Amino acid sequence: NAGVTQTPKFRILKIGQSMTLQCTQDMNHNYMYWYRQDPGMGLKLIYYSVGAGITDKGEVPNGYNVSRSTTEDFPLRLELAAPSQTSVYFCASSYSRKPNTEAFFGQGTRLTVV
Amino acid sequence: TQLLEQSPQFLSIQEGENLTVYCNSSSVFSSLQWYRQEPGEGPVLLVTVVTGGEVKKLKRLTFQFGDARKDSSLHITAAQPGDTGLYLCAGEWNAGGTSYGKLTFGQGTILTVHP
């Protein structure tokens, strides 16, 4: 089973460049999330989606945008990359909003902005 | 913003020793999850606790949710080198509505178990 797939795994960007981090899941989950993980820190929520066409901001949304045109895909867009966006990005999905629901995470995208 | 304070940040022990990781907050969480993360991988769920005072066991791992649902602990008995990894607690918080599965993570505990 593929689960949650993220691409690319690694990327180096120059300041001011833009890129899209791809995330796709094959579990037919309605709920999808983007987190970032800085060294020595836990994960922080960037954006989330409760279904196709519906997205909302998380704790640290500035500098990012998302879209959810299909249930499977939830891309994260960086428009003007900044060094502060150097981080590891994780996409996750879950099938329910109930508290006892497991979130499945992708393997992450390690992004360096220089 | 809800905060989860996780301690200790680093733990280096010998095989066979016991250890406890703590996760504390000033907020009441509707549920709390513990994840384990290996280098280059995403977090993988170990357990979810929902009820205040709840205790769950997973082989040598014991998880407890505080009575007031503001704190949790992970206890590992007789640690093994295979337990080495990053352990994360994550709380789901409802502000009178629904959280949509959004998680607030602690800073993580890097555990190293030496043979």
Residue in chain B closest to A29 (alpha carbons) equals B101
pLDDT band at A39 (very low <50, low <70, confident <90, very high): confident
Q: Does residue B95 register a pLDDT over 80?
A: no
Helices (H) and strands (E) in chain B, counts: 0, 11
First to last CA, chain A: 35
Average the pLDDT over A32-54 and give the result: 93
Full DSSP string of chain A: ---EEEE-SEEEE-TT--EEEEEEESS--SEEEEEEE-TTS-EEEEEEEEETTEEEE-S--TTEEE--SSSSB--EEESS--GGG-EEEEEEEES--STTPPPEE---EEEEE-
The interface residues of chain B toward chain A in range 32-71, judged by CB-CB distance below 8 A, are 33, 40-45, 48, 50
pLDDT band at B96 (very low <50, low <70, confident <90, very high): low
Q: Does residue B68 register a pLDDT over 90?
A: yes
> Which residue in this structure is represented by tokens 């989950």?
A29
At B72-82, the pLDDT tens digits run 999 999 999 99
More confident call, A100 vs B21: B21
**Complete domains list, chain A, with CATH:** 4-113 (2.60.40.10)
Which residues have C-beta within 8 Å of that of residue B95, sequence separation ≥ 6? none
Q: How far is B41 from chain A (nearest CA, A)?
A: 5
Number of Cβ within a 10 Å radius of residue A95: 16
Residue in chain B closest to A34 (alpha carbons) equals B102
Residue in chain A closest to B89 (alpha carbons) equals A42
- As for how many domains chain B has, the answer is 1
What share of chain B in percent tops pLDDT 70?
A: 93
C-alpha to C-alpha distance for A3 and B101, rounded to whole angstroms: 18
Q: Which residues of chain B lie closer than 8 angstroms to A101, CB-CB? A: 101
Average the pLDDT over B18-25 and give the result: 97
A44 close contact with B: CB closer than 8 A: yes
pLDDT band at B92 (very low <50, low <70, confident <90, very high): confident
Q: Which residues of chain B lie closer than 8 angstroms to A50, CB-CB? A: 100
Q: In CATH, what number is assigned to the domain containing residue B61?
A: 2.60.40.10
* Residue numbers of the domain that contains B109: 5-114
Q: Does residue A97 register a pLDDT over 70?
A: no
pLDDT, chain A, mean: 93
B107 close contact with A: CB closer than 8 A: yes
Q: Which residues of chain B lie closer than 8 angstroms to A87, CB-CB? A: none
Which residues have C-beta within 8 Å of that of residue A24, sequence separation ≥ 6? A4, A5, A72, A73, A74
A42 closest CB neighbour out of B48, B98, B106:
B106
Which residues have C-beta within 8 Å of that of residue B53, sequence separation ≥ 6? B64, B65, B66, B67
